[in-house]
Every structure is written in structure tokens, then in C-alpha cells.
């Protein structure tokens, strides 16, 4: 999480509510997180170092630690309350995890995280920056921190190719979330962002709600220095993009 979005990540109460809602989707997300671990180009018993950008309460880091039992993970987040949740999630792997509080909007975040890394992963975090120029810079910073033969995998919210598709995605996600929520309204966690839309009031003038489309992301990955890039999975406005170095 970071300092330039609409969430109050410094509020322990807000983070507690967010995590509680988000954990309800953990089972649905597990296949995506396991796909991310499968795409890491190293043997499962390799002693690799993995950076989890915007670790949140640690669900992706947990999958990585279980998939790579000799690995070490650096779990970065802007929010201290969120890192407190991550420490609890990852308690059984505590000896292999380093927790780092750092703001992605600050150029020193990579230095704080350390490195180099054999893999960098992130899930539903980087879009919160709401700054395409800064995200492009982060992709370059990540690439510089990745060892040759390593990778960067980013599961995140993306813009649809057209305004009409964006509206349709919003309608579908809103309907799904309302059907699952006992209050009939979308929650705060994970893909709930698609239903709530950071710029939901922008539907009338078709402003894109997120910083980038899949095509933008792939172009930024190539520009950053990743040689093999692709969209490995996509469902409407949620996509797993990444590249190998």
C-alpha cells in the first residue's frame, strides 16, 4: 500500500476492516497466487530471495514461502497496521521473512527493501499510486533490482480497452459483489475495487479508473528492460502481467 491513494492505511481500524473483508476472497484468489509461484523461473528448492511489493496482510508472500521452502521473502508495505497483519499471517515462516516499511512514491523504497532479488511479485497494490509516470519508474526500479534470469509478476487492476467495456466490467462486478454481500453493497477487499471503481463517479464522462491498460503495462515492462513479457492471466479488469530478465 502507499501514501497517495484514497485509503487510510495508517488507521488500524480501517485496515482491520479492509483485511477482514479481503480475507473472504482468499480462497478465490489462491489459484492466481499459485500461478504466480509457478511462473517464478527457479527450482522449488532453490534458496531464492523474493520481494513482495505492497504485501498487505501477506497472502502472496505466504504462497511464495510455501512454494519455495528454501526462499527468503522481503515483505514491503507503506502501512504499519498492514505489516502487523502480515506478521501474523507469516508467523510460521518468520525466520525467512524481512518486513520493510517503505512508500512506493519515494525513490528510496528500493534501497530500503534491499536486493538484488530473484523474483519480485505484487498483488492489487501498485495501481493505488494512481500515477502512470510513477508506475513506469517503479517498473524500471524493479528491473534494476532483479537478477538476470529473474522475473517480475504483477497481479493488478487494469483499464478496459474501451469505455464501453469498462462500463460493462463495472456492471458485472457490481452485480457479483452485490449478490455475495449480505448488505447488497460491494466490500473493500481485492477485486471489490472493480465494483466500487476508484473513479466510479467518472462513469458519466468515461475517464479510465486505473492508471493503465494491459497494453500499457506490457509496454512499460519492455521499456523497463524485461525481455520476455506477457499477460499470463486476465478476467475483465484484473490481470497478471509480468516479464523475465
Beta carbons of 63 and 40 less than 8 angstroms apart: no
- The reported pTM is 0.89
pLDDT digits (tens, 9 = 90+) for 213-228: 999 999 999 999 999 9
DSSP assignment of 130-163: --HHHHHHHHHHHHHHEEEEEEEEEEEE-B-SSH
**Considering the domain boundaries, does residue 109 fall inside one?**
yes
Could you tell me the strand order of the sheet in which 97-101 lies? 97-101, 72-77, 49-53, 117-123, 146-157, 238-244, 228-235
Burial of residue 50 (number of CB atoms within 10 Å: 0-12, 13-18, 19+): buried
Our count of domains for the chain comes to: 1
**Considering the domain boundaries, does residue 145 fall inside one?**
yes
Rounded Cα distance between 228 and 244, Å, is: 5
Q: What is the CATH number of the domain that holds 92?
A: 3.40.50.150
**Considering the domain boundaries, does residue 122 fall inside one?**
yes
**Considering the domain boundaries, does residue 183 fall inside one?**
no
**Considering the domain boundaries, does residue 6 fall inside one?**
no
**Considering the domain boundaries, does residue 31 fall inside one?**
yes
**Considering the domain boundaries, does residue 196 fall inside one?**
no
Mean pLDDT per 10-residue interval, the chain, length 245 residues? 64 89 89 98 98 97 99 97 96 98 95 97 95 97 98 96 90 80 46 45 65 96 98 96 98
**Considering the domain boundaries, does residue 54 fall inside one?**
yes
Give the range of the structural domain holding residue 228, as residue numbers without chain letter: 12-159+212-244
Beta carbons of 51 and 72 less than 8 angstroms apart: no
CB atoms within 10 A of CB 111: 12
Q: Which residues sit opposite 144 in a β-bridge? A: none
Amino acid at each position: 500500500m502507499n501514501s497517495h491513494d484514497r485509503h487510510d492505511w495508517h488507521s488500524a481500524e480501517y485496515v482491520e476492516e479492509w483485511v477482514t473483508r479481503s480475507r473472504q476472497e482468499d480462497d478465490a484468489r489462491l489459484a492466481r497466487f499459485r500461478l504466480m509461484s509457478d511462473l517464478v523461473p527457479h527450482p522449488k528448492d532453490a534458496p531464492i530471495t523474493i520481494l513482495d511489493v505492497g504485501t498487505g496482510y501477506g497472502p502472496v508472500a505466504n504462497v511464495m514461502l510455501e512454494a519455495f521452502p528454501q526462499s527468503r521473502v522481503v515483505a514491503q508495505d507503506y502501512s504499519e497496521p498492514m505489516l502487523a497483519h502480515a506478521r501474523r499471517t507469516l508467523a510460521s515462516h518468520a525466520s525467512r521473512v524481512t518486513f520493510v516499511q517503505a512508500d512506493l512514491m519515494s525513490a528510496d523504497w528500493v534501497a530500503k527493501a534491499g536486493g538484488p532479488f530473484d523474483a519480485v511479485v505484487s498483488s492489487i497494490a501498485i495501481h493505488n499510486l494512481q500515477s502512470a509516470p510513477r508506475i513506469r519508474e517503479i517498473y524500471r526500479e524493479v528491473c534494476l533490482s532483479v537478477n538476470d534470469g529473474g522475473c517480475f509478476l504483477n497481479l493488478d487492476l487494469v483499464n478496459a480497452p474501451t469505455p464501453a467495456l469498462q462500463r460493462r466490467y463495472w456492471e458485472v462486478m457490481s452485480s457479483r459483489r452485490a449478490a455475495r454481500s449480505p448488505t447488497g453493497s460491494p466490500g473493500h477487499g481485492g477485486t471489490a475495487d472493480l465494483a466500487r471503481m476508484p473513479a466510479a463517479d467518472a462513469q458519466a464522462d468515461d475517464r479510465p479508473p486505473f492508471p493503465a491498460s494491459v497494453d500499457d503495462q506490457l509496454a512499460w515492462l519492455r521499456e523497463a528492460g524485461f525481455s520476455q513479457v506477457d499477460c499470463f492471466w486476465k478476467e475483465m479488469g484484473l490481470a497478471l502481467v509480468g516479464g523475465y530478465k
